[in-house]
A and B are shown apart, each in its own frame.
Chain A
Amino acid sequence: MRTVDLLIVAAFLVYIVWDGVRRGRDSKDAEGYMLAGRRMRWWAMGLSVMATQASAITLVSTTGQGFDQGMRFLHFYLAIPFAMVVLCATVVPWFHKARVFTAYEYLERRFDRPTRLLASVLFLVSRSLAVGTVMYAPSIVLSRGVGIPPATTILVMGIASTVYTAIGGNTAVIVTDAKQMLVMMAGLVACVVVAWTSLPDHVGIGGALSIAGATNRLDTFHWPTSVADALSDKFNLVSGLFGGFVLFLGYFGADQEQVQRYLAGSSVNQSRQSLLLSAFAKVPMQFVILLLGVLLYVHYLFAPAPAFFRAPELERALKERPAAESAPLRAQYDALLERYGADAKSRAAAADDFLAANRDLPGDGAASDRDDRRRSAAVDELRRLDQAVRDDRNAGMVLLAEAGLSKLDVNGQPEKNEPDYVFTHFLVTGLPVGIAGLVLAAIFAAAISSLVSPLNSLATSAVMDLWRPFRGDRLSQREIVTATRFMTFVWGGLATVSAFWMGDIPIIEMVNRIGSFFYGSMFGIFVLGRIVPRARGAVGWLSLALGLSTVLGVHWLYNVTGRIRPEAWPKIEFLWYNPIGFLAVLLVGFVASRFTARAPSAAEGR
């Protein structure tokens, strides 16, 4: 990285920490520290909500997804507008009217303390597992792709986030998140502009999208072909609009990391509008990120590109090792380079043929059979050579594993993280000075904004849900604020330490999916509280526990071991765990409430 770019990043980090520290440091009570005095405007909270969700891996990996697989991942987000409307009509006014500090405090008022404690513990466990990954994952990518040591990245992110979050509280979190979201958007737009303008003149944006369409990278609307396809295929309209719908209800409605952002609203409508910002902006933003990946695919189709995007690590290793030791690997790598060179050149020629065949098609639709055949042949050839290049990249990752720099799975297949390094390669080699600094700052912004929110919420929940209820009115406001600041340092320290020992263990994959184990059940308990008046007391925690157990049971008995999976039935994708958990909680709650005491009278209220 160039010095100017690193200076831009350093200046950004210093500014963000300074800005965060000066905000909210004078908070004297819990409401001021934890809920920004309930004074926040919708646009600041809305940008904070978006920044909290968009981590560095969103920026880097999603671009890689677009490069490698295309835009199917967009289906994951399609339910957001609909989920946000439901949340604005339900939990937002419930929480606002109840003047709670945490989502789980609401559950104590509605059910009992054990329900609150269970929900809070589930949040603390799931979020603390995830927060180390938020630091670890980008540190590895930046280390391998940009050359910044992982320890540096982890310490910078960990210390910066912890310090200003502990001092500034939720005000610092929201205000800096909003600014960091703007930095992210600026970085994204800059990347798209550079990628677009770097396309060869004879290609242009139309040609680029044609090539992407021909190589099946623009599948933005995938209707499953069967029920089995809907259940087992990762990203399709049905799983996105149903499974994703319940996931986002749970994530934005029952995860304190997000709830605490919009609890800071100056009115219920300010809080609603903050969520509705995501309803309008999230899908377009993800569309642009994936489109960037597609543009980079076309860019590297014509521009020089490494055989695989982790090749620099292999080359470094081959240089550093004694010649005799690395000779066999070197020979294999040289053979790969020769093969890849030929494949890449042929693929570029095939892309040109395709564009020419496309261009020569009559615009009035009266194409002759010959024109159609020519175009068809060009598409087939392009797809064949695209697969050949993909095979070359795969072979490169196998060599990386043989060099001890990566792993193979039980089937001898390499890690699937190679596309993550497309973005960093473009950052280092394709962006002009200054813009590269902005984009690197955007990566740090994405990481830090996804750290500060959980740190703030973990500390708040630990104090308000697990400690304060047992201390009652004996705690002063000052003590609460001091305890929360202390807990922020504790969680920040734990997250930083866990990021160091995380390593490439499968926990990363698990952590990324862990939300789907919890969110359906968590949102279900809030809905149960509203639609089943008889569900009181122990019914709360019982429903939540059994709902969660149902999801775990389905995961283990149906998906993992297959003990309850009929022959020839497919496994179900993780998005479906959300509606399963949600429905299980409602069912258990409804049934269990039949065995409890009489329903409350109107005078008692809920």
Chain B
Amino acid sequence: MTEAEPDPEREAADEAHARRLYWRALAWGVLTLVFLWWFKHHWQV
């Protein structure tokens, strides 16, 4: 398969940065669920 020329150093830095963002996004997803649980139960009658 034709692919762009790899640049190992830059790719490693990109991947490390991306992984940090992934963890933040996953944490945000979980926090959202927690917030929605709290929101419902706080106002539920």
List residues of chain A with CB under 8 Å of any chain B CB: 74, 78, 80-82, 84-85, 88-89, 96-99, 109-110, 209-210, 212-214, 218-221, 267-269, 272-273, 276, 279-280, 283-284, 375, 379, 605-606
A74-B37 Cα distance, complex, nearest whole Å? 12
* Given known contacts A88-B18, A89-B22, A280 and B43 CB-to-CB distance under 8 angstroms: no
Q: For the complex, what is the distance from the CA of A97 to the CA of B29, rounded to whole Å?
A: 28
A83's nearest neighbour on chain B, judged by CB, is: B29
Among A110, A272, A284, contact of B1 (Cβ-Cβ < 8 Å) = A110
Partner of A272 from the list B2, B18, B26, B41 (CB cut-off 8 Å) is: B18
Which residues of the partner chain B approach A213 to less than 8 Å between Cβ atoms? 43-45
Which residue from chain B places its CB closest to the CB of A208 in the assembled complex?
A: B43
Number of A-B contacts (CB under 8 A): 78
B17, B29, B37, B39: the one within 8 Å of A279 (CB):
B29
**CB pair B45 A85 closer than 8 Å:** no
Shortest CB–CB separation between residue B43 and chain A, in angstroms? 3
Task: Knowing A220-B36, A379-B45 are in contact, say whether A109-B21 is a contact too (CB < 8 A).
Answer: no
**B residues neighboring A (CB under 8 Å):** 1-4, 14, 17-18, 21-22, 25-26, 28-29, 32-33, 36-37, 39-41, 43-45
A84 touches B25 (CB 8 A): yes
A279 to B18, CA, bound (A): 13
Q: How many Å from the CB of A253 to the closest CB on chain B?
A: 15
The reply to whether B40 and A280 form a contact with Cβ atoms under 8 Å apart is: no
Contact between chains at A109 and B26 (CB < 8 Å) = no
Question: Can you list 12 contacts pairing A with B, beta carbon distance less than 8 Å?
Answer: A78-B32, A97-B3, A99-B3, A210-B43, A210-B45, A213-B43, A218-B40, A220-B39, A221-B36, A221-B41, A267-B14, A279-B29
Taking each of B2, B25, B26, B40, which has the highest tally of chain A beta carbons within 10 Å of its own beta carbon?
B25
- How distant is A499 from chain B, measured CB to nearest CB, in Å? 35
B31 to chain A, nearest CB (A): 9
Partner of B22 from the list A88, A214, A283 (CB cut-off 8 Å) is A88
- For B4, list chain A residues within 8 Å (CB): 96-97, 99
User: A219 contacts which chain B residues (CB < 8 A)?
Assistant: 40
Question: In the assembled complex, which residues on chain B have CB atoms less than 8 Å from the CB atom of A269?
Answer: 14, 17-18
Contacts of B28 in A (CB 8 A): 81, 279-280
Chain A: which residue is nearest B26 at the CB level?
Answer: A85
A221-B37, A267-B14 known; A279+B44 contact, CB < 8 A: no
* Nearest CB on B from A289, distance (A): 15
Question: In the bound complex, what is the Cα–Cα distance between A554 and B4 (angstroms)?
Answer: 41
Chain A residues with Cβ below 8 Å from B40 are: 218-221
Extra 14 A-B pairs, beta carbons < 8 Å, given A210-B43, A379-B45: A78-B32, A88-B18, A88-B22, A97-B4, A109-B2, A214-B45, A219-B40, A221-B39, A221-B41, A269-B14, A272-B18, A276-B21, A279-B28, A375-B45
**A280 — which chain B residues lie within 8 A by C-beta?**
25, 28
| A82 with B14: CB separation less than 8 A | no
Complex interface: chain A residues within 8 A of B3 (CB): 97-99
